[in-house]
Amino acid sequence: MKNKNQNRCSHKDIWGHIISARWIVLLITIPVFSPLTETGAQTYSGGMLDDGLIHTPTNYGTFVPPAKGQTYVDPVFGSTIKRLSQGHSEFNDAVHHEYSVPNAFNANDTRVLLVGENVKGFFVVDMNGNFIIDVPARGTCEPHWDKFNPNLIYYHGYQDPTIYRFDIISGNSTVEKNFPQFSEINFGKGENDVSPDGDHLIVNGDNSIVGVYTFSTQTLGPTYNYSNVAVQYDCFDLTASNMVTGRGGSADHYEL
């Protein structure tokens, strides 16, 4: 195994990973493009070149976000940002996307997958924050968008060794794959996503055996049993080449 020392993220999600924030509001940056230049390049109206300096918010302690669906311009970077959630007034709950790794946006950037901290489960909204549909996945069931079908979400059951497919148009769930060799599965303990090629996903069985599932063949590849190793794995991720990496309790990464 290769040790890759990396700093732990300062967040906390429904899996218990640390998040530090004064309050949680989901905001998205809206890229505003300029026309194509003669060389074919596009530029953004927001942001700045790296000057090596720290740019702090000018109104960090007093900022009040706009209403859901409304926008504001970031005073430091000039980016236009739209508010997509208003969880406390709508659900009496803090609302956000699940974690920084899983993609919150669907394949054609028309829908966003959100989750409530305590009351509201997973649900889908449009790009103005309007409610579309609830997702039948409990808090630790790791729903992920399909990389090509904008209406399809994958999730695993709660204490259930099954991958399900959820169609946000029909509202129906169907079985993608059951793993009878396990009593339950997860997709890497909350810090993973469907691979960029759309064909692979980590399956972690009984929190002791990890492997890579291939959608096109509906098969689980070679697995690694880590139940008796010294490293206590906090989560698992996929590399760009669909290899598994595990993060130990010391925030070190190991290639498996």
Q: How far apart are the first and last CA of the chain?
A: 6
> Element (H or E) spanning 87, and its range?
helix 87-91
Q: Nearest to residue 102, comparing CAs of 156, 56, 50?
A: 156
Q: Distance (Å, rounded) from C-alpha 79 to C-alpha 154?
A: 32
Query: What average pLDDT does the chain have?
Result: 82
**pLDDT higher than threshold 70 for residue 52:** yes
Q: Distance (Å, rounded) from C-alpha 35 to C-alpha 44?
A: 10
**pLDDT higher than threshold 60 for residue 44:** no
**pLDDT higher than threshold 60 for residue 204:** yes
Residues sharing a CB contact under 8 Å with residue 2, sequence separation 6 or more, in sequence order: 254, 255
CB of 251 within 8 A of CB of 8?
yes
Express as a percent the part of the chain with pLDDT over 90.
52
pLDDT band at 58 (very low <50, low <70, confident <90, very high): confident
**pLDDT higher than threshold 80 for residue 89:** yes
Residue range 107-165, pLDDT digits in tens: 999 999 999 988 889 999 999 999 999 999 877 899 999 999 999 999 999 999 999 99
Supply the pLDDT for residue 255: 58
Residues sharing a CB contact under 8 Å with residue 196, sequence separation 6 or more, in sequence order: 147, 240
Residue 164, classed as helix, strand or coil, is: strand
| Mean pLDDT score, 92-114 | 92
Residue 85 or residue 7, greater confidence: 85
pLDDT band at 254 (very low <50, low <70, confident <90, very high): low
CB of 75 within 8 A of CB of 58?
yes
